[in-house]
Amino acid sequence: MQVKVRPGDTLWKYSIWFGIPYQLILDSNREAAAGVLAVGDTVQIPGYIWAEHTVIAGDSLWRIATMNGVSVDLLLQSNPELQGEMLSIGSKIAVPRRVTRRVVDARRLYGYGSLLEDMNRLTDIYPFLVRSDIGTSVMGKPIPALGIGNGNKKIHFNGSMHANEWITTPVLMQFLNDYLLSLTNSMDLGGLAMYPQYLTTTLSIVPMVNPDGVNLVVSGPPDGEPFRSEAIAINGGSNDFSGWKANIRGVDLNKQFPALWERDAVQGPQVPAPRDYSGTAPLTEPEARSLAEFTRASGFQRALAFHTQGKVIFWGFEGLEPPQSEVLANEFAAVSGYEAVRNADSAAGYKDWFIQDFRLPGFTVELGSGINPLPIEQFGEIYDSALSIMLAALYM
């Protein structure tokens, strides 16, 4: 929500008037150097939207303010044309309304368009949320990253590296929405205070690493050529892409990282396929390459890649993981009910590469159970387990 600066206004005053922590106000207005404002400037207030109230008989500023959970002073600040308590029936009053409910619509078939819709809602309401693009997919779709917080502890989550594991994206987006709500409403999340984490942690989320593949599973083959014909041919002539894990070119992105890639590549298909084809070399695919470059540049201290299914947390690779990995994995298992497993019979995954190259804790979290794509009816159970793991990752 935007407000116009009046004489004497400061970001600190906005923090008091709206009941929003000062750092969130400051981070929503990074261009306001050192909090210095000029009359007529526009200031972003996170966690609020504008609503409109039509004055009816019996209305007063006090009554309207009380109905909307704001102060009379805030109503007057928002409507400088008002003269004291004099209201005209039928006139319109702008009312700042605090957002207290989720705006992410997670319980649906969740393709790239759904992600963009929800990201736009969140960045409009919470301007301290930083959006960037880490690269583009084969088909040219920007691959977005969302950043929250400015602390020295740097943590990364990603999802939907495998196309038919798309439910990991709405899980991450709902978590982000809940985190933002907790910050702007001074509420706990999972019984934990989140504002201290905002101050000490920088959280990076890439919610959909494989947008082309996800759309293939959720919506069917694209209209454009040659992608449509090539994807159908790779899929054996079928328009049922429910078993598709790869990107649009038939390369499995979680077999693309330079961590014993050569060993892994000989075990799977040697040509493009709906799943398990490693490609002709590591990082040939723009999605995997973009995630690797982003990771190298960001200095993450731990990374969690969310997949489905199995209710398992994999935390080791070739004995290269640090001792902290086991501690974290056991905590994730304790809070979620999942099983912590040191090694999987695989290589060339994002987690493997992260451990190998940085010697830091990396995890593959296999959410839920069943056959991919997991039904949206499992979302509540999956989210509860994922939430406990993500909170543990932030707090430990």
Query: Cα–chain-centroid distance for residue 291?
Result: 15
Query: Would you say 255 and 307 are in contact if contact means Cβ atoms under 8 Å apart?
Result: no
Cα–Cα distance for residue pair 272/247, rounded to 1 Å = 10
Joined together, the tokens standing for residue 300 give: 């993450």
Indicate if 230 belongs to the active site. Answer: no
Cα–Cα distance for residue pair 110/55, rounded to 1 Å = 40
Of 81, 326, 366, 377, the catalytic one is: 366
- Residue 51: CA count within 13 A, CB half-sphere: 16
Please state whether the peptide bond connecting residue 309 to the residue before it is cis, i.e. omega within 30 degrees of 0: yes
| Catalytic residue set | 366
